[in-house]
Amino acid sequence: MQNGSGPGPVEPDGVAADSDAGPAPGFGEAEPGYGDAAAGSGDAAPADGETADDGAIDDGAIDDGVVPAQEDGGPGLRASLEAIMLVADEPVPDVVIAQVLERPRAEVADGLKELAASYTAEERGFDLREVAGGWRFYTREECAPVVERFVSDGQEVRLTQAALETLAVVAYRQPVSRARVSAVRGVNCDGVIRTLVLRGLVEDSGTDPETDAILYRTTGYFLERLGMASLDELPDLAPFLPEDIEDIEDNERTRA
């Protein structure tokens, strides 16, 4: 050790020690925070772990603050639009979709246009078109030869009982809407009518002036397959109809 007025001890990094500072902890004096001083007096600042009681988030803080994003779960706009379009059997107006999704009409309209543009850019086999005041999926025009070949190859397959019943209703009640056909059969006929349209036995014949529903009728191919020259050659159904047919028809009009 050196005596006299030589330089004091040097701290690491070359910082000179303060000559006025008291003795370092561990040399006779207790280090603050250990012993009686750390006993937890009322004026002492709480430790980190002790702030949980006063700083904990309660229900009131959640009510007044931001609601977690998880509470607003569910499919996004694109997924919702695709799901609705997939099950739509006729063009759906954007205002109807906006009401279902509880979103602004302008947002839904822009979403539909963006969706249609993305299908075109991705060269999908189908596209989303705005026709007759609504939106609906359609196969793309350049895919028509493939679709026609698929349909023609499947025409030799026998029709199911449901398809035969639906075709009979269309033949005798044409022009008729899907809702009316479903009311006569007592079951939903949307899928069956699509099959009949694809096979060329049924076709679109305009819309109902009162309900705007799409009407269907049989085609020339239907007559060709049955070997008839016109619909007048269809067998008379009167002997097979129930006596209360007028009441049934009234109920059908009400349900349609």
pTM, two decimals, is 0.40
Whether pLDDT at 144 is above 80: yes
Q: 217, 181 in Cβ contact below 8 A?
A: no
C-alpha count within 13 angstroms, C-beta hemisphere, residue 218:
23
With cut-offs at 50, 70 and 90, classify the pLDDT of residue 83: very high
Q: 204, 192 in Cβ contact below 8 A?
A: no
Q: 177, 214 in Cβ contact below 8 A?
A: yes
Q: Under CATH, which architecture does the 77-142 domain have?
A: Orthogonal Bundle (1.10)
The reply to whether domains 77-142 and 155-255 share a CATH topology is yes
* 32 φ/ψ angles, rounded to the nearest 5 degrees: -55, 140
Between 161-173 and 190-198, two packed helices, what is the crossing angle to 10 degrees?
Answer: 80
Q: Give the number of other Cβ atoms within 10 Å of residue 104's Cβ.
A: 10
Q: What mean pLDDT is reported for the chain?
A: 73
Q: Give the number of other Cβ atoms within 10 Å of residue 166's Cβ.
A: 27
Q: 124, 113 in Cβ contact below 8 A?
A: no
Give the domain ranges of the chain: 77-142, 155-255
Counted residue by residue, the chain has a size of 256
Of 152 and 104, which is predicted with more confidence?
Answer: 104
What percent of the chain clears pLDDT 90, i.e. is strictly above it?
Answer: 30
Strongest mean pLDDT among 39-48, 82-91, 105-114, 216-225? 105-114
Of 9 and 216, which is predicted with more confidence?
Answer: 216
What percent of the chain clears pLDDT 70, i.e. is strictly above it?
Answer: 62
Q: Outline where DSSP puts E strands in 173-213.
A: 176-177, 202-207
Closest CA to 210 of 175, 160, 241: 175
**Per-residue pLDDT tens digits for 23-36:** 444 444 444 444 44
Q: Work out the average pLDDT over 180-191.
A: 88
CATH class of 155-255: mainly alpha
Structure tokens at 120: 């075109």
Q: Work out the average pLDDT over 87-105.
A: 91
Exposed (0-12), middle (13-18) or buried (19+): which is 199, by Cβ within 10 Å? buried
